[in-house]
């Protein structure tokens, strides 16, 4: 067993792409400013941006500008092109710089790519992986901080993965790239710097499989994306009060790992779902409904959803801090579900 190698979430994402692209020459990577200085490679000015968060730095130098292609500001154009190219002999990774831009590519992804396999009865599918970045916490404002995996997961025909750790970031992305169906991977911008153990070799984390991040007995807290870290913090605080929570990281929203979630709630009898997105018609509500149906005999308290309020993501630090769900909210929700007094500020 090799020593644990610790790298960042961003490094894990880059490694996944490089390893897959070196293994499979059919893979093309498209996106805005993934390289930088496009067209000036011969002058030594290529690869001078490397993605908004430096995730793809070095890739065009290593793999060539022909395989790591900067795109103009034409999200519908290059996403639609990526989807179709992925049915015609290529395997494509296409980056959407922020998930707030999802709507610009929406028709091509959800009316086009998502429905192709169904229409063709399996004859055609899009070997497309869309990488995008979600979430707030960086005071980036309302057009650069949204969490839009809920609407994506609602659409039949695309798979949705939301890694919350460096290990899952690499494994889910590799699985997504190798998957012959369109997958949208929502990376979290506030997690790019987080470090964790990541094996050097290529490996897959199956799409559609949740992970029990921390076993527990009194309540289940299902988390989406960065709420994993908040829930683990909440778990430590609750432990001091003698309460043991089981933290289940979704890792994928579509398909959703219903079995793991239902099994956990059936053991603990209480469910809290934590999601940074706002609540109305969101992923957390879907998970709550699942429990209300399949774990109803085991539920001993109300299902509590910890989500952002129903409002755009505000810019100001004081507002954004109050807006984004955090460990204290999760602690309170667990207490409420257990019918216990004593909330946190």
Partner 1 sequence: MGQPAAVGSGSEAAGGSETAGGSKRREVCQMEISMPAEKLASAYKTMVTIRKAEEAFQKLFLEGKVPGFIHLYLGEEAVAAGVCLDLRQDDFVTSTHRGHGHFIAKGADLKKIAAEILGKETGLCRGRGGSMHMTDVENGLYGSTGIVGGGFPPAAGLALAAKKRKTGQVAVCFCGDGSVNEGTFHESINLAAIWDLPVVFVCENNLYAQSAPQEYHQKVRDIYRRAEGYGIPGISVDGMDVFAVYDAAAAAVKRAREGGGPTLLECRTYLFSGHYVGDAKAYRYPEEMRYYQTERDCIKLFRERVSGEGLMEESELAAIDSCVEKEVGAVVAFAETSPFPSEAGLTQHVY
Q: Total residues at the site for partner 1 (CB under 8 A)? A: 42
- Does 53 bind partner 1 (CB under 8 A)? Our answer is no
Enumerate helices (H) and strands (E) in the chain, giving the number of each: 12, 14
Shortest approach of partner 1 to residue 96 CB, angstroms?
A: 12
Question: What is the three-class DSSP state of 335?
Answer: helix
> Based on CB atoms, which residue is closest to partner 1, 47 or 218?
47
**Would you name the residues annotated as active-site residues?**
144
- Strand ranges in 171-240 using DSSP code E only, listed in sequence order: 183-188, 195-197, 211-214, 219-223
| Residue choice 38, 126, 152, 261 for contact with partner 1 (CB under 8 A) | 38
Region from 95-103, 111-119, 122-130, 174-182 binding partner 1, contact rule CB under 8 A = 95-103
- Does 318 bind partner 1 (CB under 8 A)? Our answer is yes
> Based on CB atoms, which residue is closest to partner 1, 57 or 117?
57
| Residue choice 54, 81, 115, 141 for contact with partner 1 (CB under 8 A) | 141
- Does 310 bind partner 1 (CB under 8 A)? Our answer is yes
Residue with tokens 């921390």: 214
| Residue choice 11, 19, 32, 307 for contact with partner 1 (CB under 8 A) | 32
Cis ω for the linkage preceding 109 (within 30 of 0): no
- Please tell me the distance from the alpha carbon of residue 330 to that of residue 326, in angstroms, as a whole number: 7
Kindly report the backbone phi and psi dihedral angles of residue 108, in degrees, each rounded to the nearest multiple of 5, phi listed first. -65, -40
Region from 154-162, 170-178, 214-222, 313-321 binding partner 1, contact rule CB under 8 A = 313-321
**Residues of 5-37 as b/e, b for ≥16 C-beta within 10 angstroms?**
eebbbbbbbbbbbbbbbeeeeebbbbbbbbbbb
Q: What share of the chain is helix, strand, coil (3-state, %, to 5)?
A: 40, 20, 45
- Does 140 bind partner 1 (CB under 8 A)? Our answer is yes
> Based on CB atoms, which residue is closest to partner 1, 90 or 104?
104
- Does 345 bind partner 1 (CB under 8 A)? Our answer is no
- Does 298 bind partner 1 (CB under 8 A)? Our answer is no
- Strand ranges in the chain using DSSP code E only, listed in sequence order: 6-8, 27-31, 68-70, 91-96, 128-134, 159-161, 183-188, 195-197, 211-214, 219-223, 245-249, 252-254, 271-278, 304-308
- Does 343 bind partner 1 (CB under 8 A)? Our answer is no
The residues of the shown chain that bind partner 1, judged by CB under 8 A, are: 32-33, 35-40, 45, 48-49, 70, 72-77, 98, 100-101, 104, 138-144, 309-312, 314-319, 321-323
């Amino acid at each position: 067993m090799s020593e644990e190698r610790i790298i960042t979430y961003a490094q894990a994402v880059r490694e996944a792409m490089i390893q897959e692209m070196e293994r499979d020459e059919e893979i093309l990577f498209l996106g805005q400013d993934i390289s930088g200085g496009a067209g000036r490679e011969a002058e030594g000015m290529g690869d001078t941006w490397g993605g908004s968060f430096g995730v793809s730095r070095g890739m065009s130098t290593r793999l060539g500008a022909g395989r790591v292609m900067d795109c103009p500001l034409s999200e519908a154009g290059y996403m639609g092109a990526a989807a179709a190219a992925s049915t015609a002999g290529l395997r494509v990774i296409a980056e959407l710089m922020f998930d707030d831009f999802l709507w610009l590519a929406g028709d091509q992804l959800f009316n086009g790519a998502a429905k192709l396999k169904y229409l063709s009865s399996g004859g055609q599918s899009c070997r497309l992986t869309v990488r995008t970045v979600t979430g707030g916490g960086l005071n980036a404002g309302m057009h650069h901080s949204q969490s839009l995996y809920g609407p994506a997961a609602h659409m039949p025909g695309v798979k949705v993965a939301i890694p919350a750790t460096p290990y899952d970031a690499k494994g889910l992305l590799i699985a997504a790239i190798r998957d012959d169906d369109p997958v949208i991977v929502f990376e979290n911008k506030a997690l790019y710097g987080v470090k964790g153990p990541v094996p050097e070799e290529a490996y897959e984390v199956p799409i559609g499989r949740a992970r029990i991040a921390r076993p527990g007995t009194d309540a289940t807290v299902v988390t989406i994306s960065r709420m994993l870290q908040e829930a683990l913090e909440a778990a430590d605080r609750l432990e001091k009060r003698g309460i043991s929570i089981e933290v289940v990281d979704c890792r994928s929203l579509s398909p959703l790992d219903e079995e793991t979630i239902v099994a956990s709630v059936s053991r603990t009898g209480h469910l809290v779902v934590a999601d940074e997105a706002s609540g109305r018609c969101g992923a957390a509500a879907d998970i709550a409904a699942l429990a209300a149906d399949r774990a109803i005999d085991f539920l001993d308290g109300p299902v509590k959803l910890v989500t952002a309020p129903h409002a755009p993501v505000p810019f100001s630090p004081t507002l954004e801090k109050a807006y984004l769900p955090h460990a204290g909210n999760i602690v309170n929700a667990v207490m409420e579900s257990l019918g216990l007094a004593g909330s946190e500020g």
